[in-house]
Every structure is written in C-alpha cells, then in structure tokens.
Structure 1
Amino acid sequence: MSQKQRGEESRQQVVGAASRRETKQRLLDAAVSEFESHGYTATPVSRIAATAGVTVQTLYLAWGSKRALLRAYLESTLADGSHAPGDVASRFLDQCPEHLVTQLATVFVETASRSATGWKLYREAALTDSEIAADWAELQSLRRTTYRGILGLIGETALRPGLTAETATTTAWAIASPETFELLVRQHNYSSEKYLEWLSDTLRSALIGPAISSSTLS
C-alpha cells in the first residue's frame, strides 16, 4: 500500500469514527427526549431510532440496548462538567465538621438538580426490569460509598453520641437521597435554595454532636 493510500485510509477511519460518535450522540439525545416525554417502559426502541433518524439496527449497533441508553443518560447528568474530580474532592478537605456536612448537602443538591429526572426514570424502570433494578442498586451503593468516604473525614468523636461512622453513613444516605429530593422539590415545590437549607440543617442535627455544633456557632 502506497503512502497516499495509507493516508486516505487513515482519513476515512477518522471520518468514520466521527460519524459513529455523532450517531451515538444523536441516539442519546433522542432517547432522553423520548424517556422524559413518555417514560422508559413506554418508549420503544423504534421510536428512539425514528426520532434520531436512523434504523433500529443502527441503534443496537451503536448502543446495544435501550437500557444502555438510560444508563448513559443518567451518567451524563451525574458528571459535573464545571468541576474536575480533584476540585470536587478538595471541597471536603480541611473543613470543620459542620462545614463539611454543609458541603455534602451542597454537592448533593447540585447533583440532584441535574439528575432528578434520570433518577425518577431509573426508579420507575426498576419496577419492571430486573437488570435496571440491579443497576439502580449499584448506583445507590456507590452513593453510600461516597458518603462513607466524605463522613470519614469528620471522625467519630465529632458525631452525635451513639453514632458510629457506619450509622452516620446510613443516616446521611437516607436523608440526602433521590427520594427526599423528589418529595420536597418535585412534589412539595421546595426551591433548590429552600431544599438546601432544609438538607443542611437536617444533616447537621442528625450527624454532628451538640458540643461540636455549639463550639462552631460561638
């Protein structure tokens, strides 16, 4: 093969890869639109493909399954483009216990504001799809693991009497949850600011020992 032929093949590969990426994104955008309008279960792959202007076979070649599109949608909302991972982690370093808990609440509300619809779709789809139910359980486990790492920065001596690091993790996991965001923001019409205030106050009251709270406020 001549150098010219190799160059032409390389250009074709680049163009082909770009076309495949564009098709995948178009399918994801179509899936998001259809899921949000009709729900996951009521959206057939044929409708997603038609909205994206491709065949059902192309959808399966690009994504493999409708479930993969739902997972990609949720993961895209969980990713925070405004902060590098190290920047987010640094928000929890060198913080007093109360400020650390407030940061936890703040990061959760930021994430929930982006991901609430995806969480709702996942919960609903998990009722009828065992693989999505397993995905949802995994995502909840990852959230719990994240909270365990953050709250581990506090130290048990700063926690309310009777709380261990593990029970504190369980408490935060239950309070700062997709379900509370759905109930208070989506159903009870809390603003993001009001929800953040409620969440911060509730987490501090539930997690931080009274001696620590008094000293930070004095």
Structure 2
Amino acid sequence: MSGENALGSDHRTRQARVGDELRRDTRDRLLKAAEQEFAAHGYAAATVTRLAAAARVSVQTLYSAWGSKRALLRGYMERALPGGLSSPEEASERFTAEMAPAQRLVELADLVAEVAGRASLGWRLYRDAAAVDPRIAEDWNELQLLRHRLIDQIISAIPEGALTAGLTRKAAIDTAWAIASPESYELLVSRLGYTLDEFRGWLRQALLRALLA
C-alpha cells in the first residue's frame, strides 16, 4: 500500500512540474507578444485581444497568467533589467570597495549603456503610458527612484576629496542620476542617432568631468 502511495505521489509531482513548465511557457510567450505589440502600437493602443492572439492563448488565459496589461508591461521591464538596474544589491556586485573613483564612474557608464540597449523600449513605453495611466505613473516613479538608490550606493563610495571642488556628495549623486538617465539615452541615441558605443563614451566623459576633481 505504501508503494502505491509513493507511486501516486510521484505521479502528482510530475504533473505539478509539467503544470509549472506550461505556466512558465505561457507567461514567456505573452511577454514576447507584449514586446512586439507594445513596439508596434504603444502601450495605450495595445489590446489584450491582439496580445492573446499573438501568444496563441485566450484572453482569459492572459488574465490568469498576468492579471492585466499593466502587469505585462512591468514584467517586460523586469526582464530587461536583470544584470543591471534591477536591484542595488545585484548591481553592487560590479562595484568593489577597492575600485578607484574614475573606474567606478566608468563602470557605472558601462552598466547604464548595457541596460539601455535592452530596456530603451520599456523606458519609452513607461514614459508614454505614465501620461495616461496613474498606476503606471506610480510604477515609473518607483523605477526612477530605484535607479536613484542604486546610484546613491555607487557614488557614496567615492571619497568627498575626490569630487569636484564645491560638489557635495548629495549633489554628486543627483548629478550622476540626471546624466545616466533614460532621458539622456532618448535624446542622444533615439533623437540624434548616437550608437550605443558613442553613448557609452559620452556617459563616461560626462560623469568623469562633472563629478571628479
């Protein structure tokens, strides 16, 4: 009898694993469909009907998997951010205590450029959607403040004596936050046609000149 129970338990475990894999696959297909739909139509004009059709699922399945179009946008952005600006704890692994101030700023520029290459569409979507959806405006503000906390953590490790004369640490953090921003990427890359490498080089020089003595 105990053997039968064990076999039944193992069967249910396999079923649970298969169910988990199917749910992950569904969420992943919806994320990919969202990226295409948002890029083609923007957030406001994107429809859950087209999103579901592109992912080959029902609208009901879309809501079961994600809950809302807004949650899909957040999921898309979170996928773009890991390895970079997803959390101060994760990104801080790239910045050791022994890192020289100039190298710290160069690494920050590289990090921002690296993330911008993946997240630029999400940044534009959030900015545009925030103008019409108060809840997305809250999400966008949260992401911006998260970026500020990360830069605070990175810049606070630079000794005040290494900063430009008269520049307080708070001003240095705010300055870095403004320079290494989605808005800078939008202006230089999307509007003026900078390549990602050119944007990275500009970021490095702008941060070094603005912050260090």
TM-score, normalising length: structure 2: 0.91
1:167 aligns with 171
Equivalent-residue separation in structure 2 for 1:160 and 1:120 (angstroms): 33
Q: CA deviation at 1:94?
A: 1.7
Contact 2:179/2:203, CA 8 A, preserved across alignment? yes
| 5+ long unaligned stretches in structure 2 | none
Contact 2:95/2:154, CA 8 A, preserved across alignment? no
Q: CA deviation at 1:160?
A: 1.0
1:52 aligns with 55
Q: 1:194 aligns with which of 190, 198, 201?
A: 198
> Number of residue pairs matched?
206
Q: 2:97 aligns with which of 71, 76, 93?
A: 93
Q: 2:79 aligns with which of 76, 80, 83?
A: 76
1:152 aligns with 156
Equivalent-residue separation in structure 1 for 2:42 and 2:157 (angstroms): 39
Contact 1:126/1:136, CA 8 A, preserved across alignment? yes
Q: Does residue 115 of the first structure (1) align with residue 119 of the second (2)?
A: yes
Equivalent-residue separation in structure 2 for 1:185 and 1:196 (angstroms): 10
Paired amino acid for 1:149: Q
2:11 aligns with 8
Q: CA deviation at 1:178?
A: 0.2
Q: Alpha-carbon deviations, 1:107-158, whole Å to 9, x = none?
A: 1111111111111111011110111100000000010111111011112111
Q: CA deviation at 1:10?
A: 2.1
- Give the aligned CA root-mean-square deviation in angstroms: 1.7
2:212 aligns with 208
Equivalent-residue separation in structure 2 for 1:192 and 1:2 (angstroms): 59
Equivalent-residue separation in structure 2 for 1:56 and 1:79 (angstroms): 28
Q: CA deviation at 1:4?
A: 2.8
Cα distance, 1:5–1:166 mapped onto 2, change above 3 Å: same
Q: CA deviation at 1:97?
A: 1.5
Equivalent-residue separation in structure 2 for 1:90 and 1:123 (angstroms): 28
Contact 1:27/1:48, CA 8 A, preserved across alignment? yes
Q: CA deviation at 1:95?
A: 2.1
- Range 66-75 or range 187-196, more displaced: 187-196
Contact 2:83/2:91, CA 8 A, preserved across alignment? no
Q: Does residue 41 of the first structure (1) align with residue 50 of the second (2)?
A: no
Cα distance, 1:178–1:49 mapped onto 2, change above 3 Å: same
Equivalent-residue separation in structure 2 for 1:121 and 1:178 (angstroms): 12
TM-score, normalising length: structure 1: 0.89
